[in-house]
Amino acid sequence: MKFLGIIPARYASTRFPGKPLAVINGKSMIQRVYEQTSLAIKEVWVATDDERIKKTVESFDGNVIMTSANHQSGTDRIAEAVSKILETTSNKHDVVINIQGDEPFIQPEQIKAVMKCFNNSSTQIATLVKAITEQNEIFDPNKVKVVISNEKKALYFSRSAIPYLRGIEKNKWLEKSIFYKHIGMYAYKLETLMEITNLNQSPLELSESLEQLRWLENGYWIQTEITSHESIGIDTPEDLERIKKMGLL
């Protein structure tokens, strides 16, 4: 299997404009994500709609491709980037990995865990989950929960607490069941990526505002792998300051 890593990076962000260019101990956030990703994947590209980000990536000799500013989802941006990359390189790729551009602490082990899912040639889409250890996360709608099968295939994703533990007080739920949260990294077979970008939005997706439900509703299956690494995303300037105080930078 040959893997291609894509890091979407937009300049326009309501909560943190210019986030990919935020400097973290002398390096931009996008450079830190790129370098961490490159420890696991041989070929990595940044997909952006902004010339400032493009110039920054070029300044550290990274691969960068320009994409439209009008995409409705990150998956659509990834698909456009891949199409353009395939036009400019003779390299053959089997699997595309979408790495979040606001996670400068992403661990190579996480990326390799997603890659491992494709040891099964039937895998179409793969992602990561992590066991929830804090009670409040079960009921936090900003933390996407997922239930999985015995083979670790995703059965459903929700902003609600799933599974629902009937007859058990909510403050006891973490003691009585395992809950998983979604870690937002995706990998797709190349042909699957191109197929799912042509799907219309689905009722479940619109209800929960979760794109992956569109894929499940249309019969695609998502293989998961369990990680012990926490996802540390930076969504706001306050997040960045908080992480500095935690001593992670």
Unique residue bearing structure tokens 């952006």: 48
Quote the distance between the C-alpha of residue 1 and its chain's center: 20
Q: What is the number of domains present in the chain?
A: 1
User: What is the per-residue pLDDT for 26?
Assistant: 87
130 located within any domain: yes
User: Does the pLDDT value for residue 158 go beyond 80?
Assistant: yes
Q: How far apart are CA 210 and CA 145, in angstroms?
A: 11
pLDDT of residue 102: 87
Is residue 247 included in any domain, yes or no?
no
Model confidence at 179, pLDDT cuts 50, 70, 90, reads very high
User: Band of the pLDDT at 25, cuts 50, 70, 90?
Assistant: confident
Sorting pLDDT into bands at 50, 70 and 90, what band is 60? very high
Q: Is omega for the bond preceding 163 within 30 degrees of 0, making it cis?
A: yes
DSSP β-ladder status, 145-148 and 27-28: unpaired
More confident call, 25 vs 154: 154
Specify if 207 maps to a domain. Answer: yes
pLDDT at 247: 60
Average pLDDT on 19-31 reads 90
CATH number at residue 131: 3.90.550.10
Q: Using one digit for the tens of pLDDT, what is the confidence trace for 78-118?
A: 999 999 998 887 778 999 999 998 888 899 999 999 999 99
Instruction: Calculate mean pLDDT across residues 193-214.
Output: 95
Query: What number of other Cβ atoms are within 10 A of residue 18's Cβ?
Result: 15
192 inside domain = yes
Task: Output the six-digit token pair for 164.
Answer: 């629902």
pLDDT at 38: 97
- Torsion angle (degrees, nearest 10) of CA 45, 50, 53, 58: 60
Structure tokens at 145: 């929960």
Q: Which domain holds residue 141?
A: 3-237
Average pLDDT, the chain: 92
Residue 198 has pLDDT above 70, yes or no: yes
H/E stretch holding 245: helix 237-245
Q: What does the block give as tokens for 150?
A: 């015995």
- Segment of 63-72, 184-193, 230-239 carrying the highest mean pLDDT: 184-193
For 89-172, where are the alpha helices, taking DSSP H only? 108-116, 135-138
Written as one letter, the residue type at 27 is K
Q: What is the pLDDT of residue 249?
A: 55
95 in any annotated domain: yes
Report if residue 248 sits inside a domain: no
Tell whether 15 is covered by a domain. yes
Residue at 146 is within a domain: yes
| pTM exceeds 0.75 | yes
